[in-house]
Structure 1
Amino acid sequence: MFAALPALITFTVDVEELHPEAGPERLERTTRRLLDLVEEAGGRGTFFVVGEAARRAPGLVREIARRGHELASHGERHRPLAAETPAGFRRDLAASKARLEDLGGAPVLGFRAPMFSLTAATAPWATAVLGELGFAYSSSVLPARNLLYGYPGAPRRPFLWPGGLLELPCPLGRVGPLALPFLGGMYLRYLPPWRLRRFARQVGAAPDGVVWSYCHPYDLDTAQELRRYGDRGLAASLMLWLNRGRTEARLRALLAGRRSVPFADRLEAIRAGADRSFGPEWA
């Protein structure tokens, strides 16, 4: 399915809880399965941790760092940037970043917006806050139209925001007018192998791209019962729950024969080749 992808990738995990009321044990168990999976393939990954999850499972955060993986921030709460205020976002993210740095014993360089919600509407203030707080990079933009959040017109290769923050856009596969982040989440679980193969050829042939995958601990939690997620309807909750049995095998296929390196270890090279020409309207 993934033979056309480059030999160097970054395996990323969004460490978040679908149902925090169930307790942190499930998050700890499934995250450790992902740690084992990438390490068995001889790699290391970047783990974007939600601040609330870090408070509930500090031992897990320490373990991620102790095992040689990069800790990065996924925000204080798993909600889109559009639901934040600039002042509140800055305050909460600063506290969350400091907590991760204390638990991991190293600077936190990276940020990923929940649901790739860094858009044309939120980027003017959100990227400024990230720069003020000392983040070196963001991995938050889906550079196309999307059912949830997208940024049509943003570069598909790594680029610099006007303030100098490095952005690592989500790799996309295209079919007609659709652009799908096929290397993670529900897309990785639902798309048929032949479609994943075609998308992998597209991404593998793209010049100057940085290929990374993403997943969530719950993506391989086949033991979790079906429950309504937050304020989403039954259909959306069902989509988040089904096909989890495919996840581990597909992640193993993605990692086979490849080297996964954390973003932090690749920043110098990526930044040197980043697009510096992007000029959003608000700049």
Structure 2
Amino acid sequence: MDLEVRHLRVVCAIAEAGSLTRAASALGLTQPGLSAQLRRIETLLGGTLFDRRQTGTVPTPFGELVLGRARAILPGIDGLLADTGRATRRLRAADQIRIGSVGAPLLGHLVLAVKSVLPAAEVTTRCEYAPVPLLDDLVAGRLEAAVLGDHPDQELPSREGIALHPVATEPVFALLPDAHPLALRDEVSLSDLLDEDWAVPRPDSDRTPEYWSSVCALTGRRPYTPYEADGRQLIELVRAGLAVSLCQANFIEAPGTTVRPLTGNPLWYRHVLAWRHDTPLDAHAPEVLRRVTDGYLTTSALSPVYTRWRAGRGQG
């Protein structure tokens, strides 16, 4: 086995984390897998890199030597990769646009907008439940554009080279089983909703459950969340009458479910478009934003509940 750049990154990650367990978590590996990899690296280099102690891992003198060289080498390699990545993107930017999206009603409109302003481009898409991994992929050059979202006091961080364009901010509504007594009301109070069992998205890197819980805490209570699910599975739990949940205002009611506004609009969601400044999309920003915003309004009109809510506030 020859020494590779990834081996140096592993050594630096262990030193930075101070333990194999924390380093494994940061690298997305299992602790036994990382331990085995470290042993192979130590065999390759010919010495022990870390002392394993109850309090964690500490570099040996030999490890300090390797770390010093690795920390001197890796920035240059990262710079090379960044430069070649930019050059590669410039070469292929006109014919490949990779788009990521959270679960929001903007993806189709963004694809149509890209195809309109860049008709020769090959457009591909993939989805995630959380916005931060998509933002990281934009920064790393693995995506050219993305549909993201955030909440008040949880705004997406600005990243160098990335444009963030808000499209719309909308209230969060209640998602109820059709047969639930609260479904008979025109709107539902958050306090009444807190008397029910909730289904919530997986936390992962999506802070939506945290935001919901923090707003609920202002009432002096927190939701009881025995069910954790995403997408279709969450809807099925609500449809079955097992739980209530929350949804985006323009969510189109699935059979067996009812959407209702929350009294006083205590929760909000912001739709955001993001793309790299070094892609051809940046030159078409006003046109892309116009097309996606128009598409959002068209989609929102398909939700009778949201349409009535908007009309009641002069936003028809």
TM-score bracket, normalised by the shorter chain, equals under 0.3
Q: Which has the higher strand share?
A: 2
Between the two structures, name the one with larger relative contact order (CA 8 Å, sep ≥ 6).
1
Larger Rg: 2
Q: TM-score, normalised by structure 2?
A: 0.22
Q: TM-score, normalised by structure 1?
A: 0.24
